[in-house]
Amino acid sequence: MARGKKAAKALTLEEKLEQALVPEEEQPYAIPENWCWVKFGYCIELISGRDVALSECNDRGLGIPYILGASNINNNKFIIERWIKVPQVISRKNDILLSVKGTIGKLYIQQEESINISRQIMAIRLPEQLILRYVYYFLQNICDVLQEAGNGLIPGISRSEILDKTFMLPPIIEQQRIVTRIESLFAKLDETKEKAQAVIDGFELRKSAILHKAFTGELTERWRKKYGVELDSWISVFLSDVCKVNPKKLDTKNLPDDLEVSFFPMSSLSETYGEITEPQTKILKEVRTGFTNFLEGDVVFAKITPCMENGKSAIIGKLVNNIGYGTTEFYVLRCEKKIYNRYLYHLVRDQYFRDQAKAVMTGAVGQQRVPKDFMETYPLKLPTVIEQHEICRILDEIFFKEMKIKQAAESVLAQIDTMKKAILARAFRGELGTNNPSDENAIELLKKVLAEKN
């Protein structure tokens, strides 16, 4: 009489091969003849993580590193924040770690001997017949697909989403050629990317240097010489001497409740362009109380962190029925005759002004604000209104060109990312010009992989 169930019959290599290969009708596209389409799960070992209670972790470097989730992976680097003494699920050196919950698709080629992985991470372990960076680039190539597959309130993907992926397997020598070609092309793109990023990173520094020249008289030195104006025509004033800070609100009690007016929440103001980019319209009764009121030509300056530090300021343009309202987190600056509103706008957008404002902010962390008395008592050297207009003309001309240069650099960065995706797509179609038809067919390589797997 049999003792228990009979053990399942072991599959032959040919049976394993039949299961691993993707049927011709299911193959996504044509690849070189000596490659083969395989179900990814037959080529790798997939290890799911397990969460560890934070009470079992420490930040003192005791035990082995613990990777909680995608936040610990940045630019293929592992940021260690916690350690654990009693390991649960261990990944090892040269595993590819993939974030599978929350932020999906972050990748890390493990350099550490051991890491404890949470359930937000899966480890992909390779046989020796697969080139590590070939698989890494394959995962990069399908990253968008994995992200689209994410579901749930906190997006996540299952093991099957990874194991069932179709995988193009070339001969091992071709895998290495593909990696070499990808990295050669990427290196050239990265060099261009560094130059474009340097242009973007230097934008604020160049802008600050130009504004310094503007507010010290250097920018209009030739203009003054041409028109016989002396630098001593600049006068020392406080900001409140030449503009009203939060002037008295407009009296609207005799206006109808259903009158349409402009409305600007903080989100409507672009910190990049320093202007209102998403104006809204509301009826007067909705905003009459509890909001800041302003008129056309007023300068608004965000007083709360981080909006202030980010440079959220603008000149108020055309308003619906000449009336505007917005968040109380704006300071409204209404210019008098001695100061041109565009000159004031450039002044409060200047990094130096914002740094001075940041140094005196008060309030709880995350809710700090610039005090009103800082605005009112801010000292400045003020040129004549005519010279202010000339300064602004020059600034607007320079900044227009600078912004175009910055936008061109940003466009280059976007194009580089697109080009990298295109390179990866071509790589996994066998279109990088690296394939040698005389290489041994990848079927033979697959047989070796399957023979080693239980």
For residue 136, the domain's CATH number is: 3.90.220.20
Domain assignment present for 290 = yes
Indicate the SS3 state at residue 401.
helix
In a shared domain, residues 42 and 147: yes
pLDDT (0 to 100) of residue 253: 87
pTM score, two decimals?
0.76
pLDDT at position 2 over 80: no
In a shared domain, residues 243 and 163: no
Beta strands per DSSP E along 278-317: 280-283, 292-294, 299-302, 313-315
Report which residue type is found at 25: E
pLDDT at position 258 over 80: yes
pLDDT (0 to 100) of residue 152: 81
Helix axes 132-141, 385-427, angle to 10 degrees: 120
Domain assignment present for 396 = no
Supply the DSSP symbol for 406. H
Domain assignment present for 186 = no
Judge contact between 15 and 42, C-beta under 8 A: no
Q: E strand or H helix at 141, and its extent?
A: helix 132-141
In a shared domain, residues 244 and 368: yes
Q: Which residue among 314, 340, 372 closes a domain?
A: 372
**Alpha-carbon gap, residue 273 to 384, rounded angstroms:** 27
Per residue in 103-156, pLDDT (tens digit) is 999 999 999 999 999 999 999 999 999 999 999 999 999 999 999 998 888 899
Structural domain range at position 93: 38-168
Domain assignment present for 259 = yes
Judge contact between 416 and 193, C-beta under 8 A: yes
Q: How confident is the model at residue 365 (pLDDT cuts 50, 70, 90)?
A: confident
Q: What is the mean pLDDT of residues 267-294?
A: 91
335, 382, 377, 328: which is closest to 357 by C-alpha?
A: 377
Indicate the SS3 state at residue 49.
coil
Q: What is the mean pLDDT of residues 388-396?
A: 97
Indicate the SS3 state at residue 81.
coil
Tally of domains in the chain: 2
**Alpha-carbon gap, residue 35 to 41, rounded angstroms:** 17
Residue 401 is encoded by which pair of tokens? 């060109």
**Alpha-carbon gap, residue 159 to 430, rounded angstroms:** 27
> Percent of the chain at pLDDT above 90?
88
Q: Which residue among 168, 186, 203 closes a domain?
A: 168
